[in-house]
């Protein structure tokens, strides 16, 4: 279909209508013009296609679909290939249900562990998040279905998400919050991007031209259409002018009328509307080309894939004395209501009507062998207070066993769209249960079911801690595989687990006041904060244990000096030094040894997941380009590398660096110089054009000896504009430096003029 010809035959009313949705989940169809309907539905860890009345919050039932682990768990796999496979499976299910676009994945940064929707997001680190999001998108779209990357941008809390004004500086925005989307856009090439609800520095994201057009389209080259989050449009004509192509759901003609009137009253150029229509039409007809008929998918195969994905998404946090894997003998106590009534997904628009649900206790019973199982409920899911009868029964059951496995976690209300958590704690009845059981049983393993980090006041009293996250419909089978050693755990945390809430970077500034939230922690989100402050987390970013061991050696760089236009090849040897096969996640961090701007201690810039047999060794290779060394320079509005030494760090986690090597990088960029009369002598001391002036000041002040000061310290606070009066006093009022000479010097240092003379 020639969309440009089609556009010429459309009326203003038809064009405006196409930009405003045709229903709750459908775009507007114009049959007379041959424009079909296109269906969008919720994701992102499975298909949520509602079969009855639409509500967007998961209240009404949807069609059956495979519920895969949510993004919090998927990210802990650090497995690009697995994200791709998950995406392809979801794409196949979309085809089977005649869905053209699925809303996801979510690439928002985990600024605080309290965000109620963290289970839908990948990581606190933008590089990891963008890499995994890109693979998820590619997988979905390989099946002729479009992905909608969301929520662009700064949707990092649920509290007042429709109206909150997010205030943050440009560098933090670029390096942390936009970087999580940038790689996903450029590498994943999603068909659509969903604009978020909040305001960004005063302007709603859904009508923020800088965000939607200047950055997303002009800088990153995004070619698809931008859709609003549901009911996320403020002023439809302003949104369209800023780059918001499609309003969803339909606003029953309100948005259409606003666009029509804006065009007729010269408040909106019709060519702006035309561009939006073309972008929508291009995707509509792309979806037509991708549609397949009579599609069915293998539900059993997708369930098996969900189990495989869940296994790699789970993280063994603690394994004191090798308590895991469990032996198939003796008495095993299984404690906790979640063991028989499992949570496996979060609450809200991502809620999947699963094709089947595995039960932890049942899965354990299938493979326990000669072991005798004993079960106790332990706590109520309907009440956070301790139940004495349930507690005593659980203690008695645990005391009679050789080992106790406790299933604990967050309730639905704490992993939910629309609300943020109030604390990091598990329900008090669960914490109390775990503590009490450790008094009667020394061999305790806690299996956590939750979508975000939690406090663990009992961490030193239990021998094993196993983070299962919200592992999807096959979570129970996957957890059982790892508990009994049929699978070696290989997940690592994609977020930091703090010891207590007050340790978190944005503790003072989350979720803000009634109108706005200020991101005062700046760049120091997640491990960047813990590294910089020396605050020790409960479990660091990148942490995860295995039933085998790995040794790192032979770190090599292909050069020790380079320019920022070159690439650096990094190679390291990794050996499985244990007795069983396992997977290791090799993490590469970069540290700027000495920077003139504030920078994190180190930043993740590469990772690879490898699979090794016992005794097997392999070479892991990384390629680093300019962005691995760069920061966002707000003076030049671009990424810039500062010349100097950088450390290449290879780690098993952000807190366990095994090897390091150095490289000197020379920048090809010239930093923009913005000297003014308010610049200090210390600011200009290294400028050749100012050499005579700096020498004169040092000599004139006799090294600061009369004042008992170091001249360098004194000069650091003296402004250039002060030199007119100062030099005149030194010369007895008969000479000195003039204001004209200072202006000339400033121009010379900024590359705009000549040096002063005399």
- Token digits for 519? 């991101």
Residue 322 CB: number of other CB atoms within 10 A? 9
B/e letters for 68-107, b = 16+ CB within 10 Å, e = fewer, are: bbbbbbbbbbbbbebbbbbbbbbbbbbbbbebbbbbbbbb
* Residue in 229, 358, 420, 564 annotated catalytic: 229
Q: Say how far apart CA 112 and CA 110 lie, in whole Å.
A: 6
- In sequence order, what E strands does 509-567 have? 516-518, 550-557, 561-563
Do the Cβ atoms of 289 and 38 come closer than 8 Å?
A: no
Q: What is the DSSP string of 632-685?
A: EETTTTEEEPPSEEEEEEEEEETTEEEEEEEEEEE-SSPPPP---TT-BHHHHT
Report in angstroms the alpha-carbon separations of 93 from 64, 88, 457.
Answer: 10, 9, 42
Based on the residue annotation, tell me whether 169 is a catalytic residue of this protein. no
According to DSSP, the β-strands at 617-624 and 568-576 are: antiparallel
Q: Say how far apart CA 497 and CA 608 lie, in whole Å.
A: 22
According to DSSP, the β-strands at 64-65 and 353-354 are: parallel
What is residue 611's three-state secondary structure? strand
Q: Say how far apart CA 308 and CA 473 lie, in whole Å.
A: 11
Q: Say how far apart CA 495 and CA 124 lie, in whole Å.
A: 6
Residue 395 CB: number of other CB atoms within 10 A? 21
Q: Say how far apart CA 139 and CA 87 lie, in whole Å.
A: 4
B/e letters for 296-318, b = 16+ CB within 10 Å, e = fewer, are: ebeeeebbebbbbbbbbbbbbbb
| Long-range pairs, 22-28, Cβ under 8 A, ≥24 | 22/250, 23/54, 23/249, 23/250, 24/54, 24/56, 24/249, 24/250, 25/49, 25/50, 25/54, 25/249, 27/246, 27/280, 27/284, 28/250
- Token digits for 742? 């200072």
Residue 151 CB: number of other CB atoms within 10 A? 26
Q: Tally the residues of the chain.
A: 758
Which residues 6+ apart lie within 8 Å of 195 measured at CB?
151, 152, 205, 206, 208, 211, 212, 226, 227, 228, 229, 232, 244
- Token digits for 20? 């405003």
Helix, strand, coil tally for the chain in percent (to 5): 35, 20, 45
Q: What is the DSSP string of 428-476?
A: HHHHHHHHHHHTT-S-EEEEEE-SS----TTTTT-SEEEE--S--TTHH
Compute φ and ψ for 254, nearest 5 degrees: -65, -50
* Segment (H or E) for 586: strand 582-592
* Segment (H or E) for 727: helix 723-730
Q: Which alpha helices (H) appear in 52-160, and where do they start and end?
A: 71-77, 80-96, 126-141
Do the Cβ atoms of 437 and 398 come closer than 8 Å?
A: yes
Cis upstream peptide for 44 (omega within 30°): yes
Q: Which residues make beta-bridge pairs with 659?
A: 650
Distance of CA 699 to the CA centre of its chain: 54
Rg (CA), the chain: 29
Handedness of CA 672, 675, 679, 680 (dihedral sign): positive
Q: Say how far apart CA 693 and CA 696 lie, in whole Å.
A: 5
Q: Which residues are catalytic?
A: 229
């Amino acid at each position: 279909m020639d969309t440009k010809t089609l556009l010429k035959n459309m009326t203003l009313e038809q064009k405006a209508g196409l930009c405003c949705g045709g229903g709750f989940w459908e775009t507007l169809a114009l049959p007379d013009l041959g424009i079909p309907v296109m269906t969008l539905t919720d994701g992102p860890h499975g298909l949520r296609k509602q079969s009855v009345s639409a509500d967007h919050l998961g209240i009404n039932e949807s069609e059956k679909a495979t519920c895969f682990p949510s993004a919090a768990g998927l990210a802990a796999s650090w497995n690009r290939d697995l994200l791709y496979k998950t995406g392809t499976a979801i794409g196949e299910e979309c085809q089977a249900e005649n869905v053209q676009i699925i809303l996801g994945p979510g690439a928002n940064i985990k600024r605080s562990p309290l965000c109620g929707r963290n289970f839908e997001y990948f990581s606190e680190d933008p590089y990891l998040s963008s890499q995994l999001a890109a693979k998820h998108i590619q997988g979905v779209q390989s099946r002729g279905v479009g992905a909608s990357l969301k929520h662009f941008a700064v949707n990092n809390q649920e509290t007042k998400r429709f109206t909150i004004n997010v205030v943050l500086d440009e560098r933090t925005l670029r390096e942390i919050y936009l970087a999580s989307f940038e790689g996903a856009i450029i590498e994943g090439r999603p068909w659509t991007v969903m604009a978020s609800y909040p305001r960004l520095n005063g302007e709603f994201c859904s009508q923020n031209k800088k965000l939607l057009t200047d950055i997303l389209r002009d800088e990153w080259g995004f070619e698809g259409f931008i859709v609003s989050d549901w009911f996320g449009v403020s002023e439809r004509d302003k949104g369209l002018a800023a780059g918001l192509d499609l309003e969803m759901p339909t606003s029953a003609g309100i948005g259409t009328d606003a666009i029509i009137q804006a065009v007729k009253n010269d408040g909106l150029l019709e060519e702006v509307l035309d561009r939006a229509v073309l972008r929508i039409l291009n995707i509509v007809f792309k979806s037509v080309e991708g549609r397949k008929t009579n599609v069915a998918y293998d539900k059993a195969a997708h369930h098996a894939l969900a189990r495989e994905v869940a296994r790699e998404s789970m993280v063994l946090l603690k394994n004191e004395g090798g308590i895991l894997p469990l032996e198939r003998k003796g008495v095993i106590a299984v404690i906790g209501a979640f063991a028989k009534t499992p949570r496996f997904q979060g609450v809200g628009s991502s809620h999947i009507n699963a094709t089947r649900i595995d039960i932890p206790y049942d899965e354990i019973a299938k493979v326990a062998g000669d072991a005798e199982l004993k079960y106790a409920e332990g706590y109520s899911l309907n009440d956070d207070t301790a139940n004495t009868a349930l507690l005593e029964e659980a203690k008695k059951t645990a005391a009679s066993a050789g080992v106790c496995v406790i299933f604990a976690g967050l309730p639905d209300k704490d992993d939910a769209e629309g609300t943020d958590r109030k604390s990091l704690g598990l329900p008090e009845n669960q914490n109390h249960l775990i503590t009490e059981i450790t008094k009667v049983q020394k061999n305790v393993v806690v299996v956590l079911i939750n979508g975000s980090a939690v406090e663990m006041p009992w961490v030193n009293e239990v021998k094993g801690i196993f983070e299962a996250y919200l592992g999807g419909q096959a979570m129970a089978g996957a957890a059982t595989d790892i508990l009994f050693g049929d699978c070696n755990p290989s997940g690592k945390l994609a977020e930091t687990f703090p010891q207590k809430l007050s340790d978190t970077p944005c503790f003072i500034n989350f979720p803000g006041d009634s109108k706005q939230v200020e991101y005062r922690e700046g760049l120091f989100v997640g491990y960047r904060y813990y590294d910089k402050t020396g605050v020790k987390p409960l479990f660091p970013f990148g942490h995860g244990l295995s039933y085998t061991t790995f040794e790192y050696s032979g770190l090599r760089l292909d050069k020790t000096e380079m320019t920022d236009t070159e690439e650096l090849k990094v190679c390291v040897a990794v050996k499985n030094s244990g007795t069983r096969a396992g997977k290791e996640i090799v993490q590469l961090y970069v540290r700027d040894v000495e920077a003139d701007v504030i920078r994190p201690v180190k930043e993740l810039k590469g990772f690879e997941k490898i699979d090794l047999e016992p005794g097997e060794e392999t070479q892991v290779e990384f390629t680093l380009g300019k962005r691995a060394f760069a920061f966002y320079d707000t003076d030049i509005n671009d990424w810039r590398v500062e010349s100097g030494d950088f450390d290449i760090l290879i780690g098993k986690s952000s807190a366990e660096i095994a090897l390091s090597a150095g490289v000197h990088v020379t920048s090809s960029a010239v930093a923009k110089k913005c000297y003014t009369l308010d610049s200090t002598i210390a600011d200009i001391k290294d400028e050749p054009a100012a050499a005579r002036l700096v020498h004169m000041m040092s000599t004139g002040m006799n090294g600061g000896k009369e004042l008992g000061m170091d001249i360098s310290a004194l000069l650091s606070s003296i402004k250039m504009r002060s030199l007119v009066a100062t030099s005149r006093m030194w010369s007895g009022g008969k000479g000195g430096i003039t204001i004209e000479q200072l202006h000339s010097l400033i121009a010379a240092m900024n590359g705009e003029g000549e040096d002063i003379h005399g």
